[in-house]
Amino acid sequence: MNSPVKLAIIPFLLFITSAFSFAQESLIIQKNLGQINFDGHVDEEVWQSLPHLPMTVSTPNFGNEPSEHSEVMLTYDDEYFWVGARLYTKDPTTIIANSMKRDERSLNSDVFGILLDTYNDNENGYAFSTMPTGIRIDAAISNDGGSFRGVNQDWNTFWDVKTSRDDKGWYVEMRIPFSSLRFQPVGNTTTMGVIVMRYISHLNEIVTFPSIDPRYGQMAYLKPSLSSEIQLEISKTKRPVYISPYVIGGYQQNWSLNEAGTAYQKANKTTINGGLDVKYSVTSNLTLDVTVNPDFAQVEADNQQVNLTRYSLFFPEKRSFFQEGANIFDFNLLGMTRLFYSRNIGLSNGQPTTILGGARMYGSVGKWGLGLLNMQTDKTSINPGENFGVVRARRDVINPYSYVGGMFTSRIGTNGNKNLAYGLDANIRVKSTGDDYLIVKFAQTFDDNISDLLKQENEKHDNIFAYLGWQKRREEKLNFFANLKYTGQHFTPGVGHVQKQGLYGAFANISYGFMPRNEKSPIFLHGPTFRYDIEKRVIDDKMEWHVINPGWEFETKSGFEAEVDLRYEEQGVHWDFPIWDILIPQGKYAYTTFNVSLSNSSAKKLSYRLGSSIGTFYDGEGIQVELRPRWNVSSNFQLGAMYSFNVLRFPERETKDRLNIHMADLNALYMFNTKLSVSAFVQYVNTSKELISNMRVRYNPSEGKDLYFVINDARFLGDKTAVTPNYPPFYNNTVMIKYTHTFIL
């Protein structure tokens, strides 16, 4: 073999070798043979005998010795995984404790937490954390976390935490039942991944085990791929049955137009209902959920959103039945386009329908992740009953950070109409030690109604979605995400969500992060950003969307963030569309906006987010300002607000169209303790003159026992006599009480 050929083959062999080499040494966790008095003091003899995990600074000064000393210990017994932590503080008056809220979503206090990658798959996990007030915060991690999109804080499970404080610091004891975790033993040994995190709020300092380089971002402590392996000598655990009956009752008043559209008529409705959810761990890694007459009522109202685009809005799933195992059922195609969107279950033509019952099974078997779902809805006067089915499978391949998979969905009506869809996806880390990922997705849908219509018009069926992407996942130095995409005109997943149809194009988001490794520098990260996006219509190859968006981002070690960018945008409007009462005519538009956003650390007593933009807008001009202040009054009381102001002017039109959109909301939360809280939310938009309000009392003495008292109200605040028929005094008023009690057998 000649030398040039050898030189060509050697790098290739090195690449293959590194791509398949990922072994690491595991930390053996000692089993607890003593007694722990679960009180949050961490002073039992058991804790004294355990080794401490070595903690190092992740941010803001990576690799440094922590400013405050921490002693973190892990152990387990036949029933629980135990975590003990002594979080010493030189000056205890600097400990910040601003919340008693279950699942507090802001880093507004000191925090201690642990992430468990229970399948050791380097992609999914469960996070458990607390604050000095002893609150419970848990989340399901998917897609290797590291950002809010991969963190589902609506997920809850059974576990407990106790905390205590003295003049030396604060202390934590966590006990997490193995029955609340999903894991896959091999023989008598279970291997998991673990990350431990302490956030010292007044210093904006994050310390971790293992050592985590901030090049992956300040939320890298939620990335299972960065966890350290631990081993436990446990193969079988209790598999209890969770039986959760609920009862709900309420009174509702609705005003709606009569069939002739000549007047509003009032309908009063008193309801009382009940149902049952059952959860059973078939094995330590497979879970079965069964539901009969489930209650999918939301105890929080969806926020109104100002939509200045031609595309439909996306609202997140808040219903608890779909939370656990949501990562397995995730099939995100592009942006908010999904092959499976659970909010479609229980909706038909935009109207809610009764869900009679259903079942889900999800978990892992070997290298396979599996999910099965089937739900049945009742018929209404205008819609047939429907059956919803989902099958999801994915398998780890090549290295611990990669998978290939597929999904099949069905939506079949009792009238014979059906919508079927399938999808294939692959997420491949090119090297097991690298940051580069190859992402491939393909999907196709089949809808009876669309097929019949196309046959009548003799048109070709354009029902596929295709996607090819490459991503470098890091924040320091070069970071990019690029893809090619195609969405057919008739791509309509009946159990999914499509934001745009009939488009193809390319996208690139590139940034370069300068991360000074100088301890004295106040800057954590700064650097240029550049976004490019182009989409054309399949039907005529004309421009739909074209964006060129350079900018600069800046972040300090104290938590202050700023971003400025200049956005050039072209849009080809295929048909007229309204923004409230202003019509944007069909045509091609080009406009430019200058955008600025600022925010400070959420741990501050008064925190804020401020965003603004100014420039041209279609054939007019626009200014937008949005402010989100939050006041952490005390550990019992939080007050937040939002004000958004949009100014639209079209001076070149003969009609001189103009529009001012004011949207404001106010939210307050009072926490008597970690079990009882009262929250209130009010929102007003001047263009619709609608006021939406929500008040909620929650009593949660322990996981599985929940009492809610909720009042929702929506009403028109303008001149009710200005139009015919006159507006009613309100649109909707609901008073509801709900109680759920979980029995563990």
For 705-716, the three-class secondary structure string (H helix, E strand, C coil) is EEEEEEEEEEEE
List, in order, residues 6 or more apart from 638 with CB less than 8 Å away.
98, 99, 101, 630, 631, 632, 668, 669
Q: Is there a contact between 258 and 265 (Cβ–Cβ < 8 Å)?
A: yes
Position 323 scores a pLDDT of: 73
Q: Which residues pair with 670 in a beta bridge?
A: 637, 678
Position 217 scores a pLDDT of: 81
Question: What is the percentage of the chain residues whose pLDDT exceeds 70?
Answer: 92
Rounded distance between C-alpha atoms, residue 168 and residue 43, angstroms:
14
pLDDT tens digits, one per residue of 134-177: 999 999 998 888 555 678 888 889 999 999 999 999 999 999 99
Rounded distance between C-alpha atoms, residue 219 and residue 699, angstroms:
31
Position 23 scores a pLDDT of: 38
The mean pLDDT value of the chain amounts to: 88
Q: Is there a contact between 349 and 382 (Cβ–Cβ < 8 Å)?
A: yes
Q: Using the 8-state DSSP alphabet, how is residue 575 labeled?
A: S
pTM value is 0.83
Position 148 scores a pLDDT of: 53
Read off the amino acid at residue 727. Answer: Y
Question: What is the percentage of the chain residues whose pLDDT exceeds 90?
Answer: 63
Least confident of 22-36, 110-124, 257-271, 575-589: 22-36
Instruction: Categorise residue 367: left if φ over 0, alpha if ψ from -120 to 50, beta otherwise.
Output: alpha
Is 11's pLDDT higher than 50?
no
Is 490's pLDDT higher than 80?
yes
Position 224 scores a pLDDT of: 93
Of the pLDDT bands very low, low, confident and very high (cuts 50, 70, 90), residue 8 is very low
Strands 690-702 and 205-209: unpaired
Q: Using the 8-state DSSP alphabet, how is residue 201 labeled?
A: G
Rounded distance between C-alpha atoms, residue 242 and residue 346, angstroms:
24
| Closest CA relative to residue 72, chosen from 215, 209, 211 | 209
Strands (E), 132-263: 137-141, 151-152, 160-166, 169-177, 190-200, 205-209, 228-232, 241-257
Rounded distance between C-alpha atoms, residue 425 and residue 468, angstroms:
10
Is 576's pLDDT higher than 80?
yes
Of the pLDDT bands very low, low, confident and very high (cuts 50, 70, 90), residue 16 is very low
Match 């004000």 to its residue by tokens.
643
**Which domains does the chain possess?**
23-232 (2.60.40.1190)
Burial 123-151 (b: 16+ CB within 10 A, else e): bbbbbbbbbbbbbbbbbbbbbbbbeeebb
Rounded distance between C-alpha atoms, residue 639 and residue 101, angstroms:
13
Of the pLDDT bands very low, low, confident and very high (cuts 50, 70, 90), residue 12 is very low
Count Cβ atoms below 10 Å from residue 3 Cβ, excluding itself.
7
Give DSSP secondary structure letters for 97-124.
Answer: -----TT--S--S-EEEEEEETT--SS-
Q: Using the 8-state DSSP alphabet, how is residue 349 labeled?
A: T
Q: Using the 8-state DSSP alphabet, how is residue 20 labeled?
A: T
For 433-486, the three-class secondary structure string (H helix, E strand, C coil) is CCCEEEEEEEEEEEEHHHHHHHHHHCCCCCCEEEEEEEEECCCCEEEEEEEEEE
Q: Is there a contact between 60 and 204 (Cβ–Cβ < 8 Å)?
A: yes
Rounded distance between C-alpha atoms, residue 589 and residue 578, angstroms:
15
Of the pLDDT bands very low, low, confident and very high (cuts 50, 70, 90), residue 9 is very low
Count Cβ atoms below 10 Å from residue 487 Cβ, excluding itself.
25
Count Cβ atoms below 10 Å from residue 682 Cβ, excluding itself.
16
Q: Is there a contact between 51 and 62 (Cβ–Cβ < 8 Å)?
A: no
Is 236's pLDDT higher than 50?
yes
Is 15's pLDDT higher than 50?
no
Least confident of 209-213, 305-309, 377-381, 626-630: 305-309
Token pair listed for 517: 């490794």
Rounded distance between C-alpha atoms, residue 193 and residue 438, angstroms:
24
| Closest CA relative to residue 171, chosen from 253, 92, 244 | 92
Is 533's pLDDT higher than 90?
yes
Is 6's pLDDT higher than 50?
no
Q: Is there a contact between 125 and 145 (Cβ–Cβ < 8 Å)?
A: yes
pLDDT tens digits, one per residue of 60-100: 999 999 999 999 999 999 999 999 999 999 999 999 999 99
Token pair listed for 103: 């699942």
Is 682's pLDDT higher than 70?
yes
Match 């028929």 to its residue by tokens.
725
Q: What is the CA radius of gyration of the chain?
A: 27
pLDDT tens digits, one per residue of 658-671: 999 999 999 999 99
Rounded distance between C-alpha atoms, residue 430 and residue 420, angstroms:
33
| Closest CA relative to residue 413, chosen from 388, 391, 382 | 388
pLDDT tens digits, one per residue of 293-307: 876 554 444 444 444
Rounded distance between C-alpha atoms, residue 10 and residue 728, angstroms:
78
Token pair listed for 710: 């909720």
Which helix (H) or strand (E) is 45 found in, with range? helix 45-48
Q: Is there a contact between 144 and 401 (Cβ–Cβ < 8 Å)?
A: yes
Q: Is there a contact between 698 and 680 (Cβ–Cβ < 8 Å)?
A: no
Count Cβ atoms below 10 Å from residue 297 Cβ, excluding itself.
17
Position 19 scores a pLDDT of: 32
Q: Is there a contact between 668 and 677 (Cβ–Cβ < 8 Å)?
A: no
Is 4's pLDDT higher than 60?
no
C-alpha torsion sign, points 446, 448, 451, 453: negative
Q: Is there a contact between 92 and 106 (Cβ–Cβ < 8 Å)?
A: no
Question: Per-residue pLDDT averaged across 446-465, rounded?
Answer: 85
Rounded distance between C-alpha atoms, residue 99 and residue 247, angstroms:
30
